[in-house]
């Protein structure tokens, strides 16, 4: 029963990792950009939530109403103002520019909010639980997982059933031809990054409610997101959810064996899958 509990808790934790990863997966799918600052943007969203709740006294989940559009706007501005200039055949510019961005965000947060760990106070929601068949499930993890499923379903739907999604798929397939067909790829990329950061905004708030955070944890979140994407297979959003779940389960089971093994077990599970299935479990496109 204890083991079953660890597995279920891990699967629910995987929902959060899938939310970290969905944005990363989306922008890679649309413009082949890997954003090293992704984890720091998640932390930035958590801090935005902190500022909003402190200023207005809103519940963190209601702060989403402010944080999510703000992150979307940041995403669009970031892509049009900076990241579009880095796209091309050369791998180095996007990688190193987002790396520089990561350092700037991290130290900017440090300057504004200090290194003290912070947390979003969600009141009774943090401790509420329901029991299912002898297992006690926290409402928050269940809610997070449900949000992850809803977000991935919504992204999937956007991709395949809207004109925006058609534009995403078009620039993903061939930028030049999409441009000839009247799509402004710079604008499309901006929208893709905006959408990715909308998801990141949700992920940041849920992270902030679940655990304490400080400016230095962005790198770790990027790694979880990346592992979930690779485990699930590039370009497959449902695969990313599965990847997040596998990572979450590996971590909680590892922690069950020895508390010091939590993170290590997650990384080892990732390396194992990389060794046996280099393209991930459910690949859709080649890297």
Partner 1 sequence: MSNQEYQVTRSSNAARVAAILGAIVVVVLIAAPWWAGRADMRLMGEMFLYLALASLWNLMAGYAGLVSVGQQAYVGFGGYMLFALTMFAGLHPLTAIGLAGVLGALISVPVAVLIFRLRGAYFAIGTWVIAEVFRLSFAQVSALGGGSGSSLPVGIVKSLADARDTREALSYWLALGAAVLVVAAVYFFLRSRRGLALTAIRDNELAASSLGIDIWRTKLVVYIVSAALTSMLGALIFLQKLRISPDAAFSVNDWTAFVIFIVVIGGIGTVEGPIIGTLIFFALRETLADLGTVYLIVLGLVAIVVMLKAPRGVWGLIRSRFDLQLFPLRYRVIRRGPSKGA
The smaller minimum CB distance to partner 1, of residues 111 and 180, is found at 111
Q: How far is the CB of 102 from partner 1 (least distance, A)?
A: 8
Q: At what angle do helices 218-232 and 2-31 cross, to 10 degrees?
A: 90
Q: How far is the CB of 256 from partner 1 (least distance, A)?
A: 16
Question: CA-to-CA distance for 234 and 240, rounded, in angstroms?
Answer: 8
Q: How far is the CB of 249 from partner 1 (least distance, A)?
A: 18
Q: How far is the CB of 287 from partner 1 (least distance, A)?
A: 5
Question: CA-to-CA distance for 108 and 102, rounded, in angstroms?
Answer: 10
Torsion over CA of 231, 140, 49 and 21, rounded to 10 degrees? Answer: 10
Token pair listed for 41: 């943007």
50 contacts 209 by C-beta, under 8 angstroms: no
The smaller minimum CB distance to partner 1, of residues 9 and 102, is found at 102
Residues lying near partner 1 in the complex (CB under 8 A): 33-34, 36, 82, 85-86, 90-97, 99-104, 106-108, 110-111, 219-220, 222-223, 226-227, 230, 260-261, 263-264, 267-268, 270-271, 274-275, 278, 287
The smaller minimum CB distance to partner 1, of residues 73 and 82, is found at 82
The smaller minimum CB distance to partner 1, of residues 69 and 220, is found at 220
The smaller minimum CB distance to partner 1, of residues 99 and 157, is found at 99
182 contacts 72 by C-beta, under 8 angstroms: no
Q: How far is the CB of 61 from partner 1 (least distance, A)?
A: 30
221 contacts 45 by C-beta, under 8 angstroms: no
| CA distance between the termini of the chain | 40
């Amino acid at each position: 029963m204890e083991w079953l509990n660890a597995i279920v808790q891990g699967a629910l934790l995987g929902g959060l990792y899938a939310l970290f990863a969905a944005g990363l997966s989306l922008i890679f799918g649309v413009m082949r950009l890997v954003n090293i600052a992704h984890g720091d943007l998640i932390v930035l969203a958590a801090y935005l939530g902190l500022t909003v709740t402190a200023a207005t006294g809103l519940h963190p989940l209601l702060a989403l109403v402010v944080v999510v559009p703000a992150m979307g706007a940041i995403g669009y501005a970031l892509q049009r103002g900076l990241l579009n200039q880095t796209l091309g055949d050369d791998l180095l510019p996007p990688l190193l520019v987002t790396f520089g961005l990561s350092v700037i965000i991290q130290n900017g947060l440090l300057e504004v909010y200090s290194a003290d760990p912070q947390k979003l106070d969600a009141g009774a929601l943090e401790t509420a639980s329901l029991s299912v068949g002898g297992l006690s499930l926290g409402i928050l993890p269940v809610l997070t997982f449900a949000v992850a499923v809803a977000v991935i379903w919504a992204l999937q739907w956007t991709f395949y059933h809207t004109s925006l999604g058609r534009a995403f798929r078009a620039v993903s397939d061939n930028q030049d031809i999409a441009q000839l067909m009247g799509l402004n790829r710079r604008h499309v990329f901006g929208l893709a990054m905006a959408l990715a950061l909308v998801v990141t905004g949700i992920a940041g708030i849920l992270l902030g409610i679940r655990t304490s955070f400080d400016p230095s944890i962005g790198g770790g979140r990027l790694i979880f997101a990346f592992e979930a994407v690779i485990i699930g297979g590039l370009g497959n959003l449902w695969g990313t959810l599965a990847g997040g779940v596998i990572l979450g389960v590996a971590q909680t089971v590892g922690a069950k064996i020895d508390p010091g093994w939590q993170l290590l077990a997650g990384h080892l599970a990732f390396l194992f899958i990389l060794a046996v299935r280099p393209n991930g479990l459910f690949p859709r496109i080649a890297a």
